[in-house]
Amino acid sequence: GENVEQHPSTLSVQEGDSAVIKCTYSDSASNYFPWYKQELGKRPQLIIDIRSNVGEKKDQRIAVTLNKTAKHFSLHITETQPEDSAVYFCAASQGDYKLSFGAGTTVTVRA
């Protein structure tokens, strides 16, 4: 099955700086890569996703890049704000239902 590794496990950034989270996947057949954000005590929520036919996708301050050859994808958050503090999970799947999640990255934005 698919194996997704996520780094770093924790990330502390100064407000206004950028944050980058990286994930690698093992199954070359995977073609869907979502990112979920989970605030403390809350449910995970989708923030952005990308399919394998696209190399980069951007939505305001967040962007995701995908390198199919190297089998890795990354989440970039620019101009970080306190409300960006949360746990972020990457995931991969062939199709869009049987998601394999990474272990998560706890992001803390320091004021």
Partner 1 sequence: DADVTQTPRNRITKTGKRIMLECSQTKGHDRMYWYRQDPGLGLRLIYYSFDVKDINKGEISDGYSVSRQAQAKFSLSLESAIPNQTALYFCATSDPWVANEQFFGPGTRLTVL
Q: Which residues make up the interface to partner 1 (CB under 8 A)?
A: 1, 4, 6, 9, 32, 34, 42-46, 49, 89, 91, 96-104
Q: Identify which of residues 54 and 82 has a Cβ nearer to partner 1 in the complex.
A: 54
Centre a 10 Å sphere on the Cβ of residue 105 and count the other Cβ atoms it contains. Answer: 22
Taking the complex as a whole, the smallest distance from the CB of residue 15 to partner 1 amounts, in Å, to: 26
Q: Identify which of residues 77 and 89 has a Cβ nearer to partner 1 in the complex.
A: 89
Spatial neighbors of 52 by CB under 8 A, at least 6 apart, are: 30, 31, 32, 33, 66, 68
